[in-house]
Structure 1
Amino acid sequence: MKNRLQLIVFLLVLTAFFYFTNGHWTGKVVGILSILVTISVIFIGIVISLENRHPTQTLTWLVVLGSFPVFGFIFYLLFGRNVRKRRLFEKKAKLDEQVMLKLEGDYRIIDEHFEKIGDHQRQMFKLAQRLGKTPVSFSTETHALTNGKETFDEILNALEHAQHHIHMEYYIVRHDELGTKIKNILLRKVKEGVYVRFLYDAVGSFQLSGHYINELKNAGVEMVPFLPVRVPFLNNKINFRNHRKIVVIDGTVGFVGGLNIGDEYLGHSRHFGFWRDTHLKVRGEAVRSLQLIFLQDWYYMTGQTLLTQIYLSPDLMNIDIDSCGGVQLVAGGPDREWEVIKQLFFSMITSARESIWIASPYFIPDEDIFSALKVAALSGVDVRLLVPQKPDKKIVFYASRSYFPELMKAGVKIYEYKKGFMHSKIVIVDKELASIGTANMDMRSFHLNFEVNAFLYRTNSTQKLVYEFLQDLEESKTLNLDDFEKRAIWYRLFESTSRLLSPLL
């Protein structure tokens, strides 16, 4: 399949070359080009139909290819190929499974704590363990961090106190004031003999300067891009991005959540102003799970296996087990057999008895999640959705809004955050069970991105998330269905067009 598509691209480029270099051939070449494009579109349409994708995705691709043959063809080459993901990431998936099975036996599962969990929450944790291969920990302290300043104050302080190793994994890294602060700390720590390993997504951080990277590399920091893309049209991996944000220091403290490395995440953007986001500080047993997620990604990109006790011995001193609650760090991505994050969100939504509160900057649910939310609201569950009032990605923003009328008709309350840009990725169920991490409530996080989320049960952090969510609603506008349906016709048209493309976003 890959070779055939590359051949088609080559033929198109070759034909275009003759078209622009030999006027005598113009008529014939235009005809040949039209035939090639037509054949290519038909061929891809047949392939898509035979791939047994979700009907919505199949129909969307066929509509795009039929309406915009040339654009659709190029877009398909970039984002549409349904490669065999398990085969593409076979090496990584194999190590992931072996490591997580080994980890399962190392956790201290105290029966009396596990028994405190309700039946439906216990079922969800078992599902997470089966899909994500990570057990629940009752020996982990968590601290919810609710803005960029609070988060990076904690991260910078932890970096300064590193003694053996620093592991960092980010989707976006910028060479700005915050990026420079972190760089300078890493340069200082590597001089002190601390091992520093840094994974950054090659596409998310494509603007990161070579000077920044080389300065760290030359000092001894191991800087590694995740799935670099040199020729976009011919690379199957361009669509699978590492959206994780992970910091692990000395194997004893970790951070995970929605904040990348950049000044805008501190609220320094003129356009967005205040940046509302959520991160999680983790200390104790579950740091081992976060560490292993990093080490598995590191192994996949470098071939280095670092599964030694020095990296996998979390500090359990001064951990108050009785007050910890349950904590489970779960990775999802195209290397997994199941759509892990989506399945866990679905389990949370369908297990709710009283309330489902969701905050997400991008809301493009698939049919399963969309239906589950409507059914929950129709059943009397208090379903609330918090989204940004201002967009950072317009097509995604308007695609999100196309789902609102049907949700509101079912009884879902929708709020638009007014204070700044809302980038939190939170799900809270019955004020006891919560998820916080890197995954948005959208199809890209469900099906394509490498993500990591923490699932919390009856932790102090869960209660803080509940409090902060209610505070955020005070800074938000409640959407009214009658008023919302009075929006201009061109807004509705753009929303509907964006919605049509939503399976591709």
Structure 2
Amino acid sequence: MQQILTYTFLTLYTVTILGIVLVIITDNRNPLKTLPWIIVLLLAPVAGLVFYFFFGQNLSKQRIISRRTRKRITLQLEEAEHTGCPDLPEQYRPLAQLLRRTCHAVPLYGSRITPYTDGGAKMEALLGEIARAHHHIHLQYYILSDDETGRRLRDALAAKAREGVRVRILYDDVGCSGVKKAFFREMREAGIEVHAFLHVKFPRFTSKVNYRNHRKIVVIDGRTGFIGGMNIADRYVRGTEWGSWRDTHFRIEGSGVAGLQIAFLSDWSATTKRHIAGPEYFPAAKRYTDDILQIVAGGPFGKWRTLLQAESYAVANARRRVWIQTPYYLPSDVLNTALQTAALAGTDVRLMLPARSDSKLIDLASHSYLDDMMRAGVKILFYEPGFLHSKLLIADDALTVIGSANMDFRSFEHNFEVNAFVCDEEFTARMAAIFDSDAAKCHAVTPGEWFRRPRRRRWAESFMRVFSPLM
């Protein structure tokens, strides 16, 4: 009897594994993602089944917010007359069309963008804007830590809520998994509306844990906004034990804030099932500059991977330079090929990475991509003073991409991200100057030096590359 039960279990288990493999194959995923899952399931079926159960299910065909709701929110912006602007430069019209068709990103004119490369300065600017709020504060972060930085923000928001300002907060349930419930309970008791995005809880845990909201958005009175790479935690202000934390964040004033408002209200509607509307959320915007920007809210649900498509298009069409900062480089084949092709064609392609990141395994996988990059002529820069967490893409003289998305599979395929595509020569020149300043603190790796690294290290990199789509 025991043998029959054993054979029955093994048969059912084998059928389950083979069934999952068949589902993965027929799902027509990217082969770079399909193969690692098949390898894990066949070579380590027990661990593979657990990992697939939690992280491997493909929910890209589902929608957490309907097109009708998204269109209704976007219509508020158009009715508020934020979209009137001169024609885009001819070379950027196809990119703008791509962004509009894939995720309804409306071109917005005349914003003022202030960059922050220091976490302390960004935090003080944010607290200053919060103190001046009169009507509403919308705040969304992947990480809200219960530390000194997080408590300063909590207290500032609680004070505004007591004054009658509507304060709404979205946080990622996995990003804040280590935060005690009391931290958010105290906010609610102060009158703040606080909700977790895609709450992780059995039995629906498996369908959500791999799809996280990595966006960093603040909108204050519909007039001032913040976007970028910095979360709310002490390390973004003080750095780590082994070095500084180099990041980039941006304050936006003018019509570009309306794009951030749309992204927040869409996530709020998806999370709370409550729709927020009214002209007070899209006030008339003052013109500060001649720039044109599009706020792009990329995510894993739906047909298109807008951020990957748009950044690959920008790289492929650059003629003079492509400069990139990213903490993690785990690119799709499309983006990787576009960068190599640009370098081979004579474009000045520079890739700045941290000399040391917060994950040794990701470092190994990232470095496996650099051999061919160097052979193609890409200049590799390793930032040495600390952890480079900045996300930046500069293409030629007038296009800059800023926001929350890293250049990796997770940001392009699994996370909810938000980037701004800015068309403006003056802003691009300012960001190029910041890149140059960071480059002075980097070690520029030569091909001879790179290809002499230990063979054991190269083997480890190649092994981890196989699993890079899962990281």
- Taking structure 1 as the reference length, what is the TM-score of the superposition? 0.89
Conserved 8 A contact 2:397-2:425: no
Q: Verify the 8 A CA contact 1:257 1:278 in the aligned structure 2.
A: yes
Deviates more, 1:412-421 or 1:51-60: 51-60
Return the letter of the residue paired with 1:97: K
Provide the rounded CA distance (Å) in 2 between the counterparts of 1:477 and 1:329.
33
Distance 1:487 1:41 in 2: 39
| Structure 2 residue 52 is the aligned partner of structure 1 residue 76 | yes
In 2: Cα distance, 1:114 partner to 1:29 partner? 72
* Structure 1 segment 172-211 matched on structure 2, within 5 A: 172-211=143-182
Q: CA deviation at 1:244?
A: 0.3
CA distance in 1, matches of 2:17, 2:204: 16
CA RMSD between the two structures: 1.8
Is the aligned partner of 1:124 residue 2:95?
Answer: yes
Residue 237 (structure 1) shift: 1.7
What corresponds to 2:272 in structure 1? 302
The 10-residue stretch of structure 1 (327-336 or 165-174) with the greater mean CA deviation from structure 2? 327-336
Contact 1:255 1:280 in 2 (8 A): yes
Partner of 2:369: 403
User: Mean alpha-carbon deviation: is it higher for 147-156 or for 119-128?
Assistant: 119-128
Alpha-carbon distance in structure 2 between the residues aligned to 1:408 and 1:439? 24
**2:56 partner letter:** G
Decide whether aligned partners of structure 1 residues 490 and 325 sit closer, same or farther in structure 2, where only a CA change above 3 A counts.
Answer: same
Counterpart of 1:237 in structure 2 is 208
Q: Aligned partners of 1:467 and 1:301: how far apart in 2?
A: 39
Q: Which amino acid aligns with 1:55?
A: P
Structure 1 counterpart of 2:129, one-letter code:
A
1:285 aligned partner = 255
Given the superposition, is the C-alpha separation of residues 213 and 264 from structure 1 closer, same or farther in structure 2, using an over 3 Å criterion? same
1:359 counterpart = 2:330: no
1:36 aligns with 2:12: yes
**Shift in Å at residue 145 of structure 1?**
1.4
Matched residue, 1:46: 22
Q: Distance in 2 between matches of 1:423 and 1:145?
A: 13
C-alpha deviation, 1:109, in angstroms = 5.3
**Residue identity (%):** 37
Report if the CA contact (8 A) 1:142-1:459 is conserved: no
Cα offset, 1:201, TM superposition: 0.3
Match of 1:87 among 38, 48, 62: 62
Residue 464, structure 1, aligned to residue 439, structure 2: no
- Mapped to 2, the partners of 1:234 and 1:154 lie a distance apart of 37
Q: Distance in 2 between matches of 1:451 and 1:290?
A: 12
Distance 1:193 1:108, change over 3 A: closer
Structure-2 change in CA distance of 1:66 and 1:335 (3 Å): closer
- More displaced 10-residue stretch of structure 1: 57-66 or 442-451: 57-66
Q: Select the structure of larger CA radius of gyration.
A: 1
Displacement of 1:29 in angstroms is 5.6
Match of 1:58 in 2: 34
Q: Within 1, Cα distance between the matches of 2:48 and 2:359?
A: 20
Q: C-alpha deviations, 1:335-394, integer Å up to 9, x for none?
A: 343101111101110110100001000111111001111110000000000001112122
- State the shift of 1:87 in Å: 2.7
Shift of 1:230: 1.1
Letter in 2 for 1:471: S
- Is 1:498 the counterpart of 2:469 in the alignment? no
- Which of 433-442 and 229-238 deviates more? 229-238
**Pairwise CA distance, 1:470:** 0.6
Deviation at 1:461, TM superposition (A): 3.1
Q: Which amino acid aligns with 2:36?
A: T
Aligned partners of 1:42 and 1:86: how far apart in 2?
A: 23
Where does the alignment leave 5 or more consecutive residues of structure 1 unmatched?
A: 1-23
CA distance in 1 between partners of 2:77 and 2:105 (Å): 7
Bigger shift: residues 63-72 or 402-411: 63-72
Tell me the CA shift for residue 101 of structure 1: 4.9
Distance 1:504 1:185, change over 3 A: same
Could you tell me which residue of structure 2 aligns to residue 412 of structure 1?
378
Structure 2 gap ranges (5+):
none
Call closer, same or farther: CA 1:88–1:237 in 2, change over 3 Å.
Answer: farther
CA contact (8 A) 2:76 2:279 kept: no
Q: Which residue of 1 aligns with 2:123?
A: 152
For residue 132 of structure 2, what is the aligned residue in structure 1? Answer: 161
Which shows bigger deviation, 289-298 or 59-68?
Answer: 59-68
The DSSP-based 3-state class of the residue aligned with 1:53 is: coil
Aligned 8 A contact 1:57 1:503 in 2: yes
Are 2:197 and 1:222 aligned?
no
The secondary structure found in structure 1 opposite 2:215 is coil
From 457, 466, 475, the counterpart of 2:441: 475
Does the 8 Å contact 2:300/2:414 carry over to 1?
yes
Cα separation, 2, equivalents of 1:274 and 1:293: 31
- Deviations along 1:68-109, one digit per CA (max 9) or x if unpaired, are 1111111111111123x34342x3443113432553464455
How far apart, CA to CA, are the structure 2 residues paired with 1:42 and 1:453?
A: 39
Matches within 5 A, 1:450-461: 450-458=416-424, 460-461=426-427
Residues 335-344 or 197-206, more deviating: 335-344
* Superimposed CA distance per residue, residues 177-211 of structure 1 (whole angstroms, 9 cap, x where no aligned partner): 10010011011111111111000000011111111
2:353 matched residue in structure 1 = 387
Q: Match for residue 7 of structure 1? A: none
The residue type equivalent to 1:206 in the other structure is S
Render the CA deviation track for 1:130-159: whole Å, top value 9, x for unaligned: 222122122211111112122111111101
Counterpart selection for 1:103 from 58, 77, 87: 77
More helix by share: 1
> Number of aligned pairs?
471
Write the distance in 1 (CA, Å) between the matches of 2:422 and 2:204: 41
Corresponding residue of 1:14: none
